[in-house]
Amino acid sequence: MAVGELAREFPVSRPAISQHLRVLKEANLVVDRAAGNRRLYQLNPAVFETLREYFEQFCGQALSAFRREVEKLAKPQKVKPARRSKKEEQ
């Protein structure tokens, strides 16, 4: 996507969009290519695949831990009978 197209979607200037894209490119989150006198940007699919895998693993572990805790709470609790006083026994 060209900078101009992106700029139309946000309430900031084209130079601001370009500056943000430069930071994203330095972080390897986006890649660009020349198309005539424009630069076209897109998300870096390899990086986002790695992030997706990480979050799937993280969320899977968190959900498993949550499930274990819920199952603990769902188990019936053994209640010890109250001790009767000597007065009640008579």
53 and 69 in a single domain? The answer is yes
pTM beyond 0.75: no
13 and 36 in a single domain? The answer is yes
Residue 16, domain extent: 3-43
Q: What is the mean pLDDT of the chain?
A: 85
38 and 62 in a single domain? The answer is no
Question: Quick count: other Cβ atoms within 10 Å of Cβ 6?
Answer: 16
Q: Report the pLDDT value the prediction gives residue 57, as an integer from 0 to 100.
A: 84
Q: What is the mean pLDDT of residues 8-28?
A: 92
**pLDDT over 90 (residue 74):** no
Question: Are the C-beta atoms of residues 36 and 77 closer than 8 Å to each other?
Answer: no
Q: Report the pLDDT value the prediction gives residue 18, as an integer from 0 to 100.
A: 92
Res. 6 pLDDT band, cuts 50 70 90: confident
Give a yes or no: residue 34 inside a domain: yes
Phi, psi of 12, deg, nearest 5 = -135, 165
Q: What is the mean pLDDT of residues 16-24?
A: 94
Question: Are the C-beta atoms of residues 68 and 32 closer than 8 Å to each other?
Answer: no
